Amino acid sequence: MNTYRTHYCSDLSIQNLDQEVVLSGWIDTMRDHGNLLFIDLRDNYG
């Protein structure tokens, strides 16, 4: 791992609930639902 991330997107699971994770990637899609914004974050692994 490098200093820019603690996990890859494909590594996340329910076991990571309540943990702080750092992801690095690009925004594939972004959906605006008023005062809530959803993003699909991609990296080379998921």
The pLDDT averaged over each successive group of 10 residues in the chain (46 residues) is 82 95 95 96 87
Per the domain annotation, does 23 fall within a domain? yes
Amino acid 1: pLDDT: 54
Amino acid 33: pLDDT: 95
Amino acid 3: pLDDT: 75
Give which of 10, 4, 40, 2 is closest to 22, Cα–Cα: 4
Amino acid 46: pLDDT: 67
The number of distinct structural domains making up the chain is 1
Per the domain annotation, does 2 fall within a domain? no
Q: 3-class SS at 10? A: helix
Query: Domain containing 32: what range?
Result: 9-42
